[in-house]
Amino acid sequence: MLKHYNIAAVMTDSPEKENLQYLSDVIVTADHSIVRFHGRNTKGHYWYNYLYSEQELKPWVEKVDQIRKQTRILSVYFNNHYGGKAIVNALQFKAMTGHLLSEIETNALEHAEKYLSNHGLNPYSAVYPS
Average pLDDT over residues 39-68: 86
Measured distance CA(114)–CA(108) in Å, rounded = 10
Q: In the predicted model, what is the mean pLDDT of residues 4-26? A: 78
Query: What pLDDT, in 10s, does the model give residues 100-124?
Result: 999 999 999 898 888 877 877 665 5
The reply to whether 123 falls in a domain is: no
Residue 2 lies in a domain: no
CA R_g for the chain? 15
Whichever domain contains 59, its CATH number is 3.20.20.410
Q: What distance in Å separates the CA atoms of residue 28 and residue 12, rounded to the nearest whole number?
A: 13
Query: CB of 46 within 8 A of CB of 85?
Result: no
Is 32 contained in some domain?
Answer: yes
- How many domains in the chain? 1
Q: What is the pTM of this model?
A: 0.81
- 126 in a structural domain: no
